[in-house]
Amino acid sequence: MPESYLPKGFLWGFATASYQIEGAPHEDGRADSIWDVHCRIPGKIADGSSGDVACDSYHRTAEDIALLKQCGAKAYRFSLSWSRMIPLGGRNDPVNEKGIQHYVKFVDDLHAAGIEPMITLFHWDLPDGLQKRYGGMLNKDEFVKDFENYARVCFMAFGAKVKYWITFNEPWCSSILGFSTGLFAPGRTSDRSKSAEGDSSTEPWIAGHSFLIAHGAAVKAYRDDFKAKDGGQIGITLNGDWTEPWDPNDPADVEAATRKLEFAISWFGDPIYFGKYPDSMRKQLGNRLPEFTPEEIALVKGSNDFYGMNHYCANYIKHKETEPEPNDFVGNLEILMVNKAGDIIGPETQSLWLRPYPLGFRKLIKWLSDRYGGPTFYVTENGTSLKGENDLPLDQLLEDDFRCEYFRGYIGALADAHAIDGVDVRGYMAWSLLDNFEWAEGYETRFGVTFVDYAGDQKRYPKKSAKVIGSIFDQYIKKE
Ligand code: GBH
């Protein structure tokens, strides 16, 4: 037994997202999401692929549940496709009973297998109807009403069967990658070589504001009309990488490292816990960052029952002397893999942005816990790709020791954060159960503990990490 530990009853399992695994885009009444549309634009997805088939999980729910059981998972975090439930998306559009029934059955099947469902309402796949009708997140009033309506449809459909609800997955990604760099759907950006429309200096901040208000409205709906009878909890999932100063002896780099955390995480975290945007963001962005009305503050402040934390890696941060560009979204700084002393933050993976640094996990969750007054955390994603994994022959690919080491390091760091630093963490979902559609990267980058044979009828093969992860939790979770 290692010295550090995770609390008794710790909820661990795996995470996925609807568009990344389901396929079946036209089945049972589903309509397009903005990702279906985005994938059709040539050049947007590295391998020209889409989520049309993906892991075919829409047809293989039993197989996926069997995989979860085999791994010993206690929980499964998955997202609902809004376009299956309300195909056109809006509060006056028809609800699709078939879409609802698919997920109701899935939740029942999970329970029958002894696996706790954790539902994400929105993992980036906005119904395209709402994008076309009014610009999606850019139209705050419409978007908030439609999201609240969709959330209510879900709360009603699943009632007491679901104890863990997540409103949004990583609103940073939808806002910045969707409205600033244009890498993600809906692909808007000021860069006219990439999109005919968009304003990177304003739209990401407007979208982010809409997400916050919509989160607050959905949480209020749950607390007012469902929580007492259904007994669940609701929160938001925020992404964030840890930051180390490029030169720890340069106060400007130390400050920039914190500013990066504020631009990436506190953008959403501060309004939810304090009712305001971080000063560093207001200072740089001025009135491009929307203001909260008193009614909005009342909705947003205090709107997390728990903090959903997605975390993968760390970077070195170097301040910039020059004035920030109008499209800057990181806080006027450089993000680097090597520091002044020549240390490398972590080994390469298949994802350019992902360098494992387990100690950063412990440091970040402690930083968040201190900043936000010791909230309850559920880690809602953590995992890694492997450099060159996709090019390996199957027998070698299944021996994913690098991923096993990643999980050992990160789960150990989490146990330290809990046992030594006193962080209140109660669950952990590894990303991901399956190799899946890795957004703009297509299928070349794999994050699964299960290999999915895209050329061989989507057959699933558990990797070594699928077995190892359970033994790691066994080691750390307190029995008494
Ligand atoms: C998660 O985001 C997602 O929730 C999940 O759907 C996804 O499959 C998983 O990561 C693995 O990627 O390309 O330089 O602009 C993780 C947080 C933040 C990581 C944005 C990628 C893009 C950096 N992501 N980041 S860049």
Q: What is the mean pLDDT of residues 328-346?
A: 98
Q: Confidence class of residue 9 from pLDDT cuts 50, 70 and 90? A: very high
pLDDT(136) > 70 = yes
What distance in Å separates the CA atoms of residue 156 and residue 225, rounded to the nearest whole number?
10
**pLDDT per residue as tens digits for the range 439-453:** 999 999 999 999 999
Which region holds residue 147: left if phi is over 0, alpha if psi is between -120 and 50, else beta? alpha
Residue of 141, 266, 136 whose CA lies nearest to 203: 136
Ligand 1 neighbourhood includes 35 CB (under 6 angstroms): no
Total domains in the chain come to: 1
Q: Specify the ligand 1 atom closest to the Cα of 447.
A: 11
The question of whether 197 is a catalytic residue gets the answer no
**pLDDT per residue as tens digits for the range 180-227:** 999 999 999 999 999 999 999 999 999 999 999 999 999 999 999 999
Residue given tokens 């057959």 in the structure block: 459
pLDDT(479) > 70 = yes
Nearest CA to ligand 1 atom 19: 353
Residue 338, φ and ψ in degrees, nearest 5: -125, 140
Range of the domain at 138: 11-242+354-476
Q: What is the mean pLDDT of residues 86-115?
A: 98
Ligand 1 neighbourhood includes 170 CB (under 6 angstroms): yes
Q: What is the mean pLDDT of residues 452-466?
A: 98
Q: State how beta strands 459-462 and 450-453 pair.
A: antiparallel
Nearest CA to ligand 1 atom 12: 438
Q: What is the dihedral of CA 260, 264, 265, 269, to 10 degrees?
A: 110
pLDDT given for residue 480 in this prediction: 85
CATH number for the domain including 444?
Answer: 3.20.20.80
Ligand 1 neighbourhood includes 315 CB (under 6 angstroms): no
Q: What percent of the chain has pLDDT over 70?
A: 100
Q: How far is the CA of 227 from the centre of ligand 1 (A)?
A: 31
Using alpha carbons only, give the angle 388, 393, 399 rounded to the nearest 5 degrees: 75
**pLDDT per residue as tens digits for the range 426-437:** 999 999 999 999
ipTM value of the model? 0.95
All residues at 6 or more sequence positions from 261 whose CB lies less than 8 Å from its CB, including other chains? 240, 243, 364, 367
Ligand 1 neighbourhood includes 17 CB (under 6 angstroms): yes
Nearest CA to ligand 1 atom 26: 353
Ligand 1 neighbourhood includes 189 CB (under 6 angstroms): no
Ligand 1 neighbourhood includes 15 CB (under 6 angstroms): no
Q: How far is the CA of 228 from the centre of ligand 1 (A)?
A: 35
Q: Extract the tokens encoding 83.
A: 């376009």
Bridge partners, residue 461, by sequence: 451
Q: How far is the CA of 363 from the centre of ligand 1 (A)?
A: 20
**Residue 21, domain member (yes or no):** yes
Nearest CA to ligand 1 atom 25: 353
Q: Specify the ligand 1 atom closest to the Cα of 383.
A: 11
- Could you tell me how many residues make up the chain? 480
Ligand 1 neighbourhood includes 349 CB (under 6 angstroms): no
**Residue 108, domain member (yes or no):** yes
Nearest CA to ligand 1 atom 14: 353
Q: What is the mean pLDDT of the chain?
A: 98
3-state helix, strand, coil in the chain (%, to 5): 45, 15, 40
Ligand 1 neighbourhood includes 239 CB (under 6 angstroms): yes
**Residue 264, domain member (yes or no):** no
Ligand 1 neighbourhood includes 407 CB (under 6 angstroms): no
- Which value, in Å, is the radius of gyration of the alpha carbons in the chain? 21
Q: Which residue among 329, 381, 382, 446 has the greatest number of ligand 1 atoms within 8 angstroms of its CB, and so is best to mutate?
A: 381
Q: Confidence class of residue 3 from pLDDT cuts 50, 70 and 90? A: confident
Q: Specify the ligand 1 atom closest to the Cα of 239.
A: 17
**pLDDT per residue as tens digits for the range 283-311:** 999 999 999 999 999 999 999 999 999 99
DSSP readout, 267-288?
A: HHHHHHHHSS--HHHHHHHGGG
Ligand 1 neighbourhood includes 169 CB (under 6 angstroms): yes
Please answer whether residues 216 and 149 qualify as being in contact, where contact means their C-beta atoms are separated by less than 8 angstroms: no
**pLDDT per residue as tens digits for the range 74-85:** 999 999 999 999
Q: How far is the CA of 249 from the centre of ligand 1 (A)?
A: 30
pLDDT given for residue 339 in this prediction: 98
Q: What is the mean pLDDT of residues 234-246?
A: 99
DSSP readout, 219-266?
A: HHHHHHHTHHHH--EEEEEEE--EEEESSTT-HHHHHHHHHHHIIIII
**Residue 276, domain member (yes or no):** no
Q: Extract the tokens encoding 428.
A: 């952990």
Ligand 1 neighbourhood includes 184 CB (under 6 angstroms): no
What distance in Å separates the CA atoms of residue 187 and residue 176, rounded to the nearest whole number?
10
Q: What is the dihedral of CA 360, 233, 161, 75, to 10 degrees?
A: 10
Q: Confidence class of residue 457 from pLDDT cuts 50, 70 and 90? A: very high
Q: What is the mean pLDDT of residues 377-394?
A: 98
**Residue 266, domain member (yes or no):** no
What distance in Å separates the CA atoms of residue 348 and residue 345, rounded to the nearest whole number?
9
**Residue 373, domain member (yes or no):** yes
The question of whether 170 is a catalytic residue gets the answer yes
Please answer whether residues 249 and 318 qualify as being in contact, where contact means their C-beta atoms are separated by less than 8 angstroms: no
The interaxial angle of helices 464-476 and 401-419, nearest 10 deg, is: 20
Q: CA quadruple 253, 352, 308, 51: dihedral positive or negative?
A: positive
**pLDDT per residue as tens digits for the range 120-132:** 999 999 999 999 9
Q: Confidence class of residue 2 from pLDDT cuts 50, 70 and 90? A: low
Q: Extract the tokens encoding 213.
A: 């208000």
Q: CA quadruple 198, 236, 166, 435: dihedral positive or negative?
A: positive
Residue of 36, 200, 217 whose CA lies nearest to 144: 217
* Cis status of the peptide bond prior to 186, with omega within 30 of 0: yes
Using alpha carbons only, give the angle 70, 58, 137 rounded to the nearest 5 degrees: 115
pLDDT given for residue 185 in this prediction: 98
Q: Which residue among 79, 194, 239, 439 has the greatest number of ligand 1 atoms within 8 angstroms of its CB, and so is best to mutate?
A: 239
Give the amino acid at 229: K
Q: Specify the ligand 1 atom closest to the Cα of 436.
A: 8
pLDDT given for residue 107 in this prediction: 98
**Residue 295, domain member (yes or no):** no
**Residue 257, domain member (yes or no):** no
Threshold 0.95, pTM exceeds: yes
Q: Extract the tokens encoding 111.
A: 């329970």
